[in-house]
Amino acid sequence: MYQKRQWIFLQKVCAMDTEKSGTIFILIGLTVYGIHPIIVEFGGMVVAPLIFASTAALIAGCVALILARRTTPPINRDISRSDMKRLVTAGVLGTFLAFACFFVGLQLTSSNNAAVILRSELVFALLFGYLFLDETISKRQAALMTLMLGGVLLVLATTQLSTIGFGDILILITPLAWAAGHTFAKPTLQRVATWTVVTYRNLVGGTLLLLLAGILLWLGAPIILVPNLWLVVCVILVEAIVILLAHGLWYEGISRINLGKATALIAPAPLVTFLLSILIFQIPPTIWQLLGALIVIISTILLSREVSLRRNSDSL
């Protein structure tokens, strides 16, 4: 009964106009992206980070492949060579390079530094969207994005930052790789099903991550950090589910709205992480963190009402 209601809900969302349905998919994904850092932090304490990331990505890719085969009509399963190259590139950049830099960089810098640096994805997404996807933003959208980013930084800036180092450079490559991967993948969504895109991104990226993890293992790096196999399996499966949901919702969203707007709507993910941390660890927020949270919520609501724009037309 629950699955039937969930399917009816998705049908209703897809039946809405393009802008509204795309915005809803991204806002639902916002919650998933907010949960992700908590799972990654916990998973990194249980199993070697690259093993954790590669295994979860491969599982997510296999499930996405099954979903793609079951939901995509046979006539739409053929992919052109150019689209295949785009999807492989999206997997190399968006999963392999991004995850490798993120997990290695996180060992060399603080999580607070990483949280702030990752917000630069909005800048990269707006730049790539303008240069390669013919996207643009209105002055009102730019003002709302700036206000939202300011609110996120206000929440994060109240925590202590460490000195900038090589780890921070690696972390900076992560949002750059994400934005580049999305730029390659977005045009294919006009011809390729969402789950097929998710399949390529995770199977390609996950395989390369596993090869890199194998090299590190050969050099003597540990695999399992906690001698509890069931815990390791459970953490990897949860991460795979989160990756599957996050990527599925994300690509459904950007197939309908601008990459820049979608990235802006997903920018408050640290706020979700912050609120969850308060509930789990019962850490009282400061007045500045509450003010930043209020700014983010208001600007997100206002931005969600804006229409995605192209340079050569009024809207998507």
Three state DSSP letters for 51-83? HHHHHHHHHHHHHHHHHHHHHCCHHHCCCCHHH
Q: What mean pLDDT do residues 284-312 have? A: 76
- Distance, in Å, from the CA atom of 165 to the CA atom of 75, rounded to the nearest integer, reads 51
Which residues are within 8 A (CB) of 126 and not within 5 positions of it... i.e. 6 or more apart?
Answer: 137, 145, 260, 263
CB 247 within 8 A of CB 91: no
Q: For position 7, what pLDDT does the model report?
A: 47
Residue pLDDT, tens place only, 42-81: 887 888 888 899 999 999 999 999 999 887 665 456 789 9
User: Which has the higher per-residue pLDDT, 169 or 108?
Assistant: 169
Paired strand residues for 222? none
Residue pLDDT, tens place only, 219-253: 877 766 667 788 889 999 999 999 999 999 999 99
pTM of the predicted model, to two decimals? Answer: 0.83
Residue pLDDT, tens place only, 171-222: 889 999 999 999 999 999 989 999 999 999 999 999 999 999 889 888 877 7
On average, the pLDDT of the chain sits at 82
Q: For position 66, what pLDDT does the model report?
A: 94
Q: What mean pLDDT do residues 275-304 have? A: 76
Q: How confident is the model at residue 316 (pLDDT cuts 50, 70, 90)?
A: very low
**Nearest to 203, CA basis, from 72, 54, 52:** 54
Sequence-separated contacts (24+) of 206-209 with Cβ below 8 Å: 206/53, 206/54, 206/55, 206/56, 206/57, 206/58, 206/60, 206/61, 206/95, 207/54, 207/58, 208/91, 208/92, 208/95, 208/96, 209/50, 209/53, 209/54, 209/57, 209/95, 209/96, 209/99, 209/100
- Whether residue 300 has pLDDT greater than 90: no
Q: Where are the domains of the chain?
A: 18-310
Q: What mean pLDDT do residues 12-38 have? A: 81
